[in-house]
Structure 1
Amino acid sequence: MATTPSPDRRRTADEVNEDIRALWLRAGGRLRPDERALYERLVTEWAEAEANSTPTHAA
């Protein structure tokens, strides 16, 4: 299940995505309120990881 990354190591978007998929699988497609809160944290973590992994291109 989801783990909190240590301060010196952030998880990749793929790692977080695995937790999101596992959460949905365990929940059978219907999230309880506590699962919804976890899902929202995971999506935020995923978006941050994705943003940090995408190279920026100078114009």
Structure 2
Amino acid sequence: MTKFNIEELKLAGLSRKETTMEKTARAAREILEDENEMRRSKNERLRRSRLQYKRSGQ
């Protein structure tokens, strides 16, 4: 009997179907990543707006 290393075991699981829990976790991660990106872009936009306001007020 041969011994498998961790990488071989990880690659062996690639052919199996995604479980419902994995699908849910993946979808949740995607949603969180999208929300984080939207928050970052909003913060950047507001930061630029504040800087322009400060510059024009001087």
Q: Give the greater-gyration-radius structure (CA).
A: 2
Query: Larger helix proportion, structure 1 or 2?
Result: 2
TM-score range, shorter chain: 0.3 to 0.5
Q: Normalising to structure 1: TM-score of the pair?
A: 0.42
